[in-house]
């Protein structure tokens, strides 16, 4: 039992399925009150019912489309103060820069970047006032190493890492922690949108992370000063190597990078 979470209020965006749903389950199991935020009221209610029946935990739902930044302030007023914010909502589309539409580009930035920043701004004043809190931003290994056909998605995750790193320094004299989560591919519905022909998911299936593994790592880090969670370790190793020897990694990894 993570005693740090007992009685804490945790708001999770993108909580109607996938990684967000699993983070909600594990948080509730630790005695936290969970606020589930996503676009689909019916799916949120289904997750809420599972949580309350299995754990008897306090659980609320909040219908929120984070791409509509004008709705976020009202949503957070409804939610009230939160101790932990998990910015999990996000999506990707795997297309080359020339093939990708400007509409898709705009949508990815609205959800993955602008929505994340807006939610963070709404949660921070209470956290700073109480000198305690935690912002957890779900980024990606794509934010550390870009590959073909994921340039726009990677750009949004680079932005999340840049924002998070700056925010961490800005909050250094407060009791508010900032953690970025940088997973590789996870077995969720993400790829139904990102990889519609299924080729990429099929080619890397054996390497994909389970949502439970990532969620457990996230929940275990809550209310700590953990800087980053990087999964899997071998992929993070490649990302580190890329920072030192980008040309070599691009040449050696060319075959793998073009599996999308």
Q: What is the pTM of this model?
A: 0.91
| Number of domains forming the structure of the chain | 1
List all residues 6 or more positions away from 55 whose beta carbon is below 8 Å from its beta carbon. Answer: 25, 28, 29
List all residues 6 or more positions away from 74 whose beta carbon is below 8 Å from its beta carbon. Answer: none
The CATH number assigned to the domain holding 236 equals: 3.40.50.720
List all residues 6 or more positions away from 151 whose beta carbon is below 8 Å from its beta carbon. Answer: 96, 97, 100
68-124 tens-digit pLDDT: 999 999 999 999 999 999 999 999 998 999 999 999 999 999 999 999 999 999 999
**pLDDT category of residue 3 using cuts at 50, 70 and 90:** confident
Virtual CA dihedral for 180, 186, 190, 192, nearest 10 degrees? Answer: 160
C-alpha 117/C-alpha 139 separation (Å) is 13
Residues 25, 153, 242, 258: which is the catalytic one?
A: 153
Residue ranges making up the domain that contains 161: 3-257
Residue 125 has pLDDT above 90, yes or no: yes
Scored b (16 or more CB within 10 A) or e, 219-240 reads: bebbbeebebbbbbeebbebbe
45-70 tens-digit pLDDT: 999 999 999 999 999 999 999 999 99
Q: Is 200 a catalytic residue?
A: no
181-203 tens-digit pLDDT: 999 988 877 766 655 666 655 55
């Amino acid at each position: 039992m993570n005693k740090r979470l007992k009685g804490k209020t945790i708001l999770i965006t993108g909580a109607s399925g996938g990684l967000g749903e699993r983070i909600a389950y594990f948080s509730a199991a630790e005695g936290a009150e969970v606020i589930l935020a996503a676009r689909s009221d019916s799916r949120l209610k289904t997750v809420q019912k599972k949580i309350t029946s299995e754990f008897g935990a306090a659980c609320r739902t909040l219908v929120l489309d984070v791409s509509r930044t004008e709705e976020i302030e009202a949503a957070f007023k409804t939610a009230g103060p939160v101790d932990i914010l998990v910015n999990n909502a996000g999506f990707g589309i795997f297309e080359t820069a020339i093939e990708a539409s400007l509409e898709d580009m705009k949508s990815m930035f609205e959800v993955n970047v602008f929505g994340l920043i807006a939610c963070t701004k709404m949660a921070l004043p209470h956290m700073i006032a109480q000198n305690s809190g935690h912002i957890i931003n779900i980024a990606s290994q794509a934010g550390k190493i870009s590959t073909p056909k994921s340039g726009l998605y990677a750009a949004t995750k680079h932005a999340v890492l840049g924002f998070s790193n700056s925010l961490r320094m800005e909050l250094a004299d407060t009791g508010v922690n900032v953690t970025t989560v940088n997973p590789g591919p996870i077995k969720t519905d993400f790829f139904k949108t990102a990889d519609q022909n299924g080729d990429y998911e099929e080619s890397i299936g054996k390497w994909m992370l389970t949502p439970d593994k990532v969620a457990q790592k996230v929940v275990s880090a809550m209310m700590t000063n953990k800087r980053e969670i990087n999964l899997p370790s071998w992929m993070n190793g490649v990302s580190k190597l890329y920072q030192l020897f980008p040309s070599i990694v691009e040449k050696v990894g060319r075959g793998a990078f073009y599996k999308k």
